[in-house]
Amino acid sequence: MKQQPNDPRSLQGVLCVLIKQHRAVVASPGDNLLAEFASVVDAVQCGVAVQKEIETRNTELPENRRMRFRIGINLGM
């Protein structure tokens, strides 16, 4: 069976790869993703990369099938 561009399992796998490329520790309990980065710069760069990937995948889909994500970054102070 062909996976759709925003199939949750496919998308989660791609996001995990992007997060790991930015030197982060990844946990994925259920349908969530949690990443811990060494620096806020790595976190922001990864967030931008993730949003670009999602935007690319969304262009292939009709409006009612597109996924939207919010990314929160906490400096931990």
Is the pTM higher than 0.85?
no
Contacts of 14 (CB under 8 A, 6+ apart): 53
Confidence (pLDDT) at 1 = 42
pLDDT (tens digit, 9 = 90+) per residue, 31-40?
777 888 888 8
Position with higher pLDDT, 27 vs 41: 41
pLDDT tens, 51-73?
998 898 889 889 998 888 888 88
Q: What 3-state class would DSSP assign to 63? A: helix
